[in-house]
């Protein structure tokens, strides 16, 4: 398992456990990088240069930072950088990154704020779980400023194309954990403020944490780390983020899609996977047509048999047998009748006879993070797992 956790690792696990496994346990590297992340890295590097120059009593001009940014881009951009959004070109991202730098420079020039004591500083963060055991946790602070009166500001640069709400900031884990590192390194830190720079929007967002908030976030972080420690499955989780994943070619959910995407159009017809899917789609359509015909025939057959008063119909190749039996229609979940029905069954002691153990719901319960661990262990000792495969064709219109 990983020796040290970081916010980015926890974020990766929450979005896709399988990607976490690939990147941080198996150490898979594709060499590819999404252009959004690439742009963000260069913006960070440019702002780091700005503050390193300021430390040396030198304030670079914006033109100098602009040249520095373009030199970084030209020297490091290559085929390993990929663009997901077809409507944008690499130069669009280059200009967006430069705009981020320009916005920041013009807003804060001549940079007479606090003293930047940390720049891109890797820190170890003191975290303990519920049993008191320490968890190795690390991070990189973009910038830490010191002010008179034991005041500190933790700054974080964001090149995200979305602006968070105040509720989003309240849920922040990253800078809140960095505050613990600052307090451990500087015992005089009596007043710590978290500052986010959303550069695309030229916005600055600030937040001060209550001690109870830090304790809650620390507790939740420790619980998540221990859950990862105990993880054995690491199942892939599909989402819109899959398009931006750097290790798609190693994922069972994306491997074939990634491989076909890079195949010349003239060769697509030779791919066995495409051939099989096309055949499946053909027969799936025939199946839907057949089911529609069968539904119409079924209704007509039942109407004919009721009118004639017969239960067996003779055909040229066999007999169609018709049987009718009553079937209880249970009120839908959440309805008043359903609640009353369940109440009466429990009250009368007949609930166990009427209820049925549902495998799908039991599986959902076992996968719930809220389930008591002792109960989870007991349940898992009583069940076995089987693999059920389903096929579902998604047409381009779906």
pLDDT tens per residue across span 118-135: 999 999 998 888 888 888
Domain count, the chain: 3
Residue finishing a domain among 88, 110, 132: 110
Predicted confidence at residue 213, as pLDDT, reads 94
Between CA 194 and CA 182 the distance in angstroms is 11
Q: In this structure, is residue 275 part of a structural domain?
A: yes
pLDDT in tens, 268-285: 677 888 888 889 889 999
Tokens found for residue 285:
């359509």
What letter would DSSP give residue 268? G
The beta strand positions in 54-133, using DSSP E, are 81-82, 115-128
Structural domain including 293 reads 263-323
Model confidence at 142, pLDDT cuts 50, 70, 90, reads: very high
Nearest residue to 151 (alpha-carbon basis) of 204, 195, 197, 107:
195
Model confidence at 344, pLDDT cuts 50, 70, 90, reads: confident
Predicted confidence at residue 394, as pLDDT, reads 57
Tokens found for residue 235:
């199942």
12 alpha-carbon distance from chain centroid: 7
Between CA 166 and CA 198 the distance in angstroms is 13
Q: In this structure, is residue 237 part of a structural domain?
A: no
Tokens found for residue 215:
């304790």
Residue finishing a domain among 323, 347, 375: 323
Do 99 and 131 lie in a common domain? no
Do 127 and 179 lie in a common domain? yes
pLDDT in tens, 147-156: 998 999 999 9
Contact 225, 10 (CB under 8 A): yes
Predicted confidence at residue 387, as pLDDT, reads 60
Between CA 257 and CA 249 the distance in angstroms is 8
Q: In this structure, is residue 328 part of a structural domain?
A: no
Do 118 and 227 lie in a common domain? yes
Do 204 and 118 lie in a common domain? yes
pTM (predicted TM-score): 0.76
173 alpha-carbon distance from chain centroid: 15
Do 123 and 199 lie in a common domain? yes
Which of 33-47, 75-89, 244-258, 340-354 comes out lowest in average pLDDT? 340-354
Between CA 185 and CA 180 the distance in angstroms is 9
Q: In this structure, is residue 137 part of a structural domain?
A: yes
Which value, in Å, is the radius of gyration of the alpha carbons in the chain? Answer: 30
What does the pLDDT average to over 354-360? Answer: 72
Do 199 and 90 lie in a common domain? no
Residue finishing a domain among 53, 86, 110: 110
pLDDT in tens, 236-265: 999 999 999 999 999 999 998 888 887 777
Q: In this structure, is residue 354 part of a structural domain?
A: no
Do 136 and 94 lie in a common domain? no
Do 76 and 184 lie in a common domain? no
């Amino acid at each position: 398992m990983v020796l040290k956790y970081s916010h980015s690792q926890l974020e990766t696990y929450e979005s896709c456990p399988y990607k976490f496994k690939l990147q941080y346990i198996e150490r898979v590297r594709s060499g590819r990088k999404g252009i959004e992340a690439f742009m963000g890295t260069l913006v960070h590097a440019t702002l780091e240069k700005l503050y390193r120059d300021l430390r040396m009593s030198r304030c670079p001009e914006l033109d100098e930072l602009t040249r520095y940014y373009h030199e970084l881009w030209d020297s490091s951009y290559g085929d390993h950088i990929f663009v997901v959004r077809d409507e944008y070109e690499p130069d669009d991202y280059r200009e967006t990154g430069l705009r981020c730098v320009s916005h920041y420079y013009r807003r804060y020039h001549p940079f007479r704020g606090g003293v930047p004591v940390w720049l891109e500083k890797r820190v170890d963060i003191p975290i303990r779980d519920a049993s008191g055991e320490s968890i190795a946790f690390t991070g990189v602070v973009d910038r830490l400023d010191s002010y008179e009166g034991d005041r500190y500001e933790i700054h974080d640069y964001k090149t995200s194309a979305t602006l968070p709400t105040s509720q989003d900031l309240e849920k922040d884990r990253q800078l809140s954990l960095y505050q613990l590192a600052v307090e451990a390194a500087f015992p005089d830190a009596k007043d710590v403020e978290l500052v986010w720079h959303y550069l695309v929007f030229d916005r600055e967002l600030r937040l001060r944490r209550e001690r109870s908030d830090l304790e809650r976030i620390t507790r939740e972080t420790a619980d998540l780390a221990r859950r990862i420690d105990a993880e054995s499955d690491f199942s892939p989780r599909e989402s819109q983020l899959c398009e931006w994943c750097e290790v798609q070619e190693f994922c069972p959910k994306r491997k074939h899609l990634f491989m076909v995407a890079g195949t010349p159009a003239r060769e697509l017809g030779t791919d066995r996977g495409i051939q099989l899917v096309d055949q499946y789609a053909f027969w799936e359509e025939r199946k839907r047509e057949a089911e529609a015909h069968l539904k119409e025939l079924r209704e007509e057959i039942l109407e004919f048999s009721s009118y004639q008063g017969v239960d067996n119909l003779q055909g040229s190749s066999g007999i169609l047998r018709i049987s009718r039996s009553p079937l209880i229609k249970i009120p839908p979940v959440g309805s008043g009748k359903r609640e009353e029905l369940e109440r009466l069954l429990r009250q009368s002691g007949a609930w166990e006879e009427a209820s049925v153990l549902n495998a799908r719901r039991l599986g959902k319960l076992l996968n719930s993070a809220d389930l008591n661990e002792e109960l989870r262990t007991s349940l898992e000792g009583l069940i076995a797992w089987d693999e059920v495969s389903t096929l579902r064709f998604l047409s381009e219109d779906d």
